[in-house]
Amino acid sequence: MTKTTINEAQEKQPKLYSHFLHLVQQTRLSHAYLFAGLAGCGKKAVAQVVAMALFCENPGADGAPCGECTECQRILAGDNPDVVMVAPDGQRIKVDQVRYIKDEFAKSPVEGNMKIFIIEGADTLTTNAANSLLKFIEEPVANRVIFLLTTNKSLILPTIISRTQLVEFSPVPADVFATELASEGISQKQTVLLSQLTNSLEQAKLLTTDDWLGHLQHELARWFAQLAKRDATAFVTVQTGLMPLGPDRDKQGIILDAIIILWQTTLMVKYQQPNLDQPFPDSQADMEAVAQSITQQDLLAIVTQALATKKALNGNMNFQSIVETLSLSALDDLAE
């Protein structure tokens, strides 16, 4: 597993892998980083490689961890008390987990001279929890490095973003991920959308189980076609077509991500982007019709409202109300 993690960081993010090993060698790590990128793009792997590089017993000439020594294996197993790793428990990082992070932050390193914190799903922190962590980020403590990992930086408090070093992780090259998806027998019609939703093969498999993603593409194409025709039944389609596909917060979040991609693609169609990979091939004609009939200002307004849906969902707004409101707003903008 250790070697797999190192390979993942090297293969998915070669530039960031080398960059952070150089920072470790030069002892120039900052106190706080925000890693932002799709699920499966290598954020956690890079953070773990940094931790291993700091503790490895037999690092390479370039500072790379060996992946074989006791310390490397302990870190990946979660057995090193100086490397604190936290992931959401269910939908959110819970209050007791935040308390644990704060307690650990106050403690000195036990075995080495550094203490590393890797917090996955930082966007699931409540506002109160995020603010409590902000205190530690605002007041750096020597020998502490914190990595906040997120798939949606728009849900991170602006005060946290401003006090961390934001590192944008590039998506895994589409052709590389497409090859992985094809090896799992996933339809080519779904690979473009999947590569924009996630870089995680495991998550991709979950999304294509029982053709869930295929049904989502179909229902969103139907919804979008109705909007393109200024047909108010798009409002009804939210309840009859989209709601059954979103039984929980995770699936609802994916649906909203797909809606955002749908409208962003329409915006690119309006600007006639060459060689555009189409995540919704059945909607191409409708996208062209919308792009030709709507002003840039109104289309940008719809895209902006679509982007705001994820924040609304994270704020515990009702999913159906979120999509219905977006539908009504889009109908209004398209009618002008």
- The DSSP symbol for 27 reads T
Please say which residue of 168, 199, 220 terminates a domain: 168
Cβ proximity of 88 and 60 under 8 Å: no
Task: Specify the DSSP element, H or E, that contains 96.
Answer: helix 95-106
Indicate whether 143 and 263 sit together in one domain: no
Query: Which SS3 state, helix, strand or coil, does residue 120 take?
Result: coil
Contacts of 104 (CB under 8 A, 6+ apart): 84, 115, 117
Region for residue 171 given its phi and psi (left: phi exceeds 0; alpha: psi -120 to 50; beta: otherwise): beta
pLDDT at position 190: 92
271 and 163 belong to one structural domain: no
Which two three-digit tokens encode residue 312? 């609304």
Which CATH number does the domain housing residue 287 bear? 1.20.272.10
Residue 226 amino acid letter: Q
Q: What separation, in Å, do the N-terminal and C-terminal C-alpha atoms of the chain show?
A: 56
Last residue of a domain, one of 153, 168, 183: 168
Strand duo 32-36 + 144-150: pairing: parallel
Phi (first) and psi of residue 246, to 5 degrees: -120, 65
User: CA dihedral defined by 57, 59, 64, 67, rounded to 10 degrees?
Assistant: -50
- Domain stops at, among 134, 152, 168: 168
Q: How far is residue 12's CA from residue 172's CA, in Å, rounded to a whole number?
A: 6
Is the same domain home to 179 and 312? yes
- Give the range of the structural domain holding residue 98, as residue numbers without chain letter: 2-168
pLDDT at 173: 80
Reduce the DSSP state of residue 25 to 3 states and report it.
Answer: helix
If asked whether residues 133 and 179 sit together in one domain, one would say no
Helix (H) and strand (E) counts in the chain: 16, 5
Distance between CA atoms of residues 45 and 119, nearest Å: 12
Question: Are 238 and 164 members of one domain?
Answer: no
Same-domain status, 91 and 202: no
Measured distance CA(275)–CA(279) in Å, rounded? 12
The answer to whether the beta carbons of residues 311 and 154 sit under 8 Å apart is yes
pTM: predicted TM-score of the whole model, two decimal places: 0.80
The count of structural domains within the chain is: 2
Beta-carbon count within 10 A of 173 CB: 12
- What does the block give as tokens for 38? 């799709």
Tokens of 186: 């996933």
> Residue 315: how many CB atoms within 10 A of its CB?
10
DSSP H or E segment with residue 98: helix 95-106
Q: What single-letter amino acid sits at 266?
A: T
The mean pLDDT values, 10 residues at a time, for the chain of 336 residues are 80 94 95 95 96 95 93 94 92 86 90 93 86 83 92 89 94 83 88 91 93 96 96 94 95 96 94 77 93 92 94 89 96 84
Nearest to 40 by CA among 235, 195, 249, 245: 195
**Residues 189 and 279 occupy one common structural domain:** yes
Supply the CATH number for residue 83's domain: 3.40.50.300
